Structure 1
Amino acid sequence: MTAEPAFQLAQINIARFRLPAEHVANRDFMDALDAVNAIAEASDGFVWRLTGDGNDATDVPVNDDPHVIANMSVWRDLDALAAFVYRQPDHLAIMKRRKEWFDHIGVYQVLWWVPAGHRPTVAEGMARLAQLEENGPVADAFTFKRPFTAPDGTPALPVQDECA
């Protein structure tokens, strides 16, 4: 019997809509959220995701800009998250179209290890994003391409971004 890991992988990614979320130009993105979120929840290694009043987090305030949205989740490990992000066809289809809906943000995603059972807040995720932007990848705020080993020694190998 394998012991449960002491740490899990948290991630937050943010985006800024070019137009208000409810604008018709964003319909394909908004209409895909429920299906893609259901796929995430059914994925091997999925633990938790942030939701607001609906089944997504588009109504959860991120900062003072109402056009900014966040996606935040916790996964068993880097491989499980990477499999969903970079190899799940429905998620990839949406990622490949992100420039249609969202402004460019330099640092928009960060990964970090959390104790198993911890559910990060948006404020925690935004602080990790700021840390990554200020310091580059470090053990407390890193990227798929520059991952860090979990505090319990679970290794993390770099992942190539397949949708750049």
Structure 2
Amino acid sequence: MHLAQVNLARPLGPMDGTTMSEFARAIEPMNRLAEQSPGFVWRLQGDEVNRLVGRVFGDSHLLVNLSVWRSVDALRDYTYQSGHAQYVRRRKEWFSTFGRPHYALWWVDEGHRPSPREAKQRLESLQAHGPTPDAFTFTHVFDPSGLDAEAG
């Protein structure tokens, strides 16, 4: 099994504007860093992202990151221990808050590439039911068999 993740962000301004300029310049280097990180498998990219975001998520201004990793630890290390961490710490400078979970994790079969529609369903499950084996967070992980990793 591999770990899929979706992460949504609503920018505080246009991506080519002053507010977002530093973050916008960091997108490609952070994507390259992810792709070179141990445990990275795949990410949704290119025209497919722009075309699907507005249609699936109903908001063409959202930034959506959808990727697959070999494990929770691999994604956690990239997110919080690599150069990416400085952008996570500063996210309030660039993004509005959602007031509900803005990211979700879930297990997929090796080789599966989740669609934006699947990602939206997982995020909505987390928002409606809290962490479950269907969709969870870094703070409440379920293992690939569906067991609550916090209980073990």
When normalised by structure 2's length, the TM-score is 0.89
- Give 3-state SS (helix, strand or coil) of 1:25's partner: coil
Instruction: Give 1:60 deviation, angstroms.
Output: 4.6
Alpha-carbon displacement from aligned partner over 1:47-89 (angstroms, at most 9, x marks no partner): 00110239xx46652422222110111000111111101111x
Separation in 2, partners of 1:118, 1:135 = 24
Identical pairs, percent: 41
Tell me the SS of whatever aligns to 2:64. strand
Match of residue 61 from structure 1: 53
Question: Aligned equivalents of 2:30 and 2:16: distance in 1?
Answer: 18
Residue 69 of structure 2 corresponds to 75
- The answer as to 2:16 corresponding to 1:29 is no
1:98 corresponds to:
91
Closer, same or farther in 2 for the Cα pair 1:59/1:84, shift >3 Å? Answer: farther
Which of 120, 136, 142 aligns to 1:142? It is: 136
Letter in 2 for 1:42: Q
Q: What displacement does 1:100 show?
A: 1.2
What is the distance in 1 between the residues matched to 2:51 and 2:14?
A: 12
User: Does the 8 Å CA contact 1:60/1:70 hold for their aligned counterparts?
Assistant: no
**Long gaps (5+) in structure 1:** 1-6, 159-164
* Cα displacement (A) at 1:157: 6.4
What is the total number of aligned residue pairs between the two structures? 148
* In structure 2, C-alpha distance between the alignment counterparts of 1:136 and 1:152, rounded to whole Å: 14
Q: TM-score, normalised by structure 1?
A: 0.82
2:119 is aligned with 1:128: no
Q: Whose helix proportion is higher, 1 or 2?
A: 2
Which structure 1 residue ranges, 4+ long, deviate > 6 Å from structure 2?
none
Residues 82 and 156 of structure 1, relative CA distance in 2, 3 Å threshold: farther
**Equivalent AA in structure 1 for residue 67 of structure 2:** S
- Aligned-partner residue type, residue 93 of structure 2: E
1:116 maps to a residue whose letter is E
Give the root-mean-square deviation of aligned CA atoms. Answer: 2.2
